[in-house]
Every structure is written in structure tokens, then in C-alpha cells.
Amino acid sequence: MRFTEMLAASERAHRSMLCIGLDPDPARFPADWRGDRGRIFDFCAAVVDATHDLVCAFKPQIAYFAAERAEDQLEALIDHIHARAPGVPVILDAKRGDIGATAEQYAREAFERYRADALTLSPFLGLDSIEPYLAYADKGLFLLCRTSNAGGSDLQAQTLGSGARLYEHIAATAEQAWNRNGQLGLVVGATFPAELARVRELAPTLPLLVPGIGAQGGDAAATVRAGWRGDASGTRAPIVVSSSRAVLYASAEADFAVGARRVAEATRAELAAAAAPSPHAGLA
């Protein structure tokens, strides 16, 4: 199954736009495990087991594993997700950006070593930096577009000679010229709902990965209003709304997985409520 098909099926099956970001920090683990890098798999797997029926995707952040020399635990975790929740795609958050043979190796790492279903990429080196990943035609590729951090404006909001802002150019290019195999999506932060709406206008068919709700302060309802078009749009391109720390660290006690499920349920419900048609729609 292609990534886009897998994502759409997971969204429908679980009635969810929620993606849980797996950013394990041993310093924030429950007391009995605190500081123990050997428990990274155990911590993340417990969250997966508690929430896999509530999400449309999981998104492990590779730096949290690599910094702790826990790449083997990342491999085991992705295997665990595929076994425990075979219909839920794994988006590896690595934001790779390089060219040629180096990009080929990054693609092998993501899709052959880790067996991820999708990968985040930086598009700022141009199409030839994306092409090695396009060779994996069943995989998804999310290009950085309008990121959730304030400093993203330093480059992404700059106006080009055409009059478009850089993030608008990325969105339009990803929707059209670069999307050869229907693999591309865009990363757009929940912290910029107006820009999110503009990206959706320029890229009506692409899935949008939207970080920034929860700990970063993005508003879930505003995110849905800006990016979700629903069945009536005729395109129904998903939004994948990612929350990490708010879910992972909902409880600092041994019941952390229970806390993670509680917050995931509440976030899924909030997103669904924002997507539901208003009972007053069309009434003056």
C-alpha cells in the first residue's frame, strides 16, 4: 500500500487527525526509569500500545534516539509499531537535506534500515536533493514549507522576484512540478494558521504534517479550520496534526501511558469537533 493510501485508511479507521510525536527524553521518564537511556524503547512502546487506536500516524524524531546512541531502539520501535498497529504509518522526522550519493544513503537509512513509511525533508537544495527519495515510490515525503518556529520567517516569509513568498513557492512547486509520483506532503506549523490556510489553498491535494499544537502553543481548532477541507471539498487531503510532549509527558508517574492515552483522546476529540459541520452552517 502506498503511503498516501495507508494514511487515508488510518485516518478513516481511527477517525483521527492526530499524530503522536515520539521524542523520548530519558530525563523526563518516570522516576524508576529516569535518566536510563536503555528504557527508550520501553517508554515509547508503552505509549504506542496505549494510543495506537487513537492516531492516524506516529512520528519518531531521530535526533532523540541518535543522541542517546539508541538507533537500535528506534529500529525496534518502528518494528513494534508495524506489528502492533500494522495500519498506522510511521513518519520518520529527520529533516534530511543533501544531494547525490549522500541523499541516496539517507533514503536507504530511512526506508530500508528503519522501514519508515514517510520521511521529513528539507527542500532548500532543490529538486535534485529530493529525487533519490522519489525512487521509493510507495513512500511519503514531507517537505519543510512554513515551519512552526518563529525563526522560520527569516527565510520562509521572504518575498521572491515573482511576488510570492518562499513558502508559497515551495507549496505550489510541491503540488505541481515536483509531485511526480503523488508522494509529496508539506510541513506547516500550527503556530501560523493564516499561512497554513494559504498553503492549503496552493496545495489542495497534498497531506499536511502540522506540528506545533500542545507544548508549542498552536491552537487545534484553528489548525483544523485552516487546513481541513473535508469530504465536501472533493480532495479530502489529510492533515496530520502532531503533538509530542503534551502526550508523552502527560504524567510523570508510572501511569504515564494512561496519561498519554487521556491526552490523546482529548486531542483527537478536539480536532474532530473542529472538523464537524456547524449545526448553524448556512443559517443567517
pLDDT digits 0-9 by tens, 31-69: 999 999 999 999 999 999 999 999 999 999 999 999 999
Q: Is 250 left (phi over 0), alpha (psi -120 to 50) or beta?
A: alpha
* pLDDT of 214 over the 80 cut: no
What residues have CB less than 8 Å from 19, skipping those under 6 apart?
55, 56, 57, 58, 59, 91, 209, 240, 241, 242, 243
What pLDDT shows up at residue 282? 33
Nearest-angstrom CA–CA distance, 176 and 165: 17
Nearest-angstrom CA–CA distance, 262 and 50: 9
How many other β-carbons are positioned within 10 Å of the β-carbon of residue 42?
A: 14
DSSP 208-227: EEE--BGGG-B-HHHHHHHH
Compute CA 140 distance to the chain's CA centroid, rounded to the nearest angstrom. Answer: 11
Q: Is 90 left (phi over 0), alpha (psi -120 to 50) or beta?
A: beta
What pLDDT shows up at residue 14? 96
pLDDT digit string, tens, across residues 234-273: 556 889 999 999 999 999 999 999 999 999 999 999 999 9
What pLDDT shows up at residue 281? 35
Helix (H) or strand (E) holding 140: strand 140-146
What pLDDT shows up at residue 191? 87
* pLDDT of 197 over the 90 cut: yes
Mean pLDDT over residues 27-31, rounded?
Answer: 95
pLDDT digit string, tens, across residues 151-175: 988 898 899 999 999 999 999 999 9
Domains of the chain: 3-274 (3.20.20.70)
Mean pLDDT of the chain: 92
pLDDT digit string, tens, across residues 113-153: 999 999 999 999 999 999 999 999 999 999 999 998 889 88
Sign of CA dihedral 25, 76, 55, 221: positive
Does residue 95 have an active-site annotation? yes
- Confidence grade of residue 1 (pLDDT, cut at 50, 70, 90): confident
Q: If you count them, how many residues does the chain have?
A: 284
In this structure, what are the phi and psi dihedrals at residue 283, rounded to the nearest 5 degrees? Answer: -95, 135
- Confidence grade of residue 280 (pLDDT, cut at 50, 70, 90): very low
Cβ atoms of residues 26 and 33 within 8 Å: yes
Active-site pick, 2, 37, 82, 95: 95
| Angle subtended at Cα 195 by Cα 194 and Cα 201, rounded to the nearest 5 degrees | 95
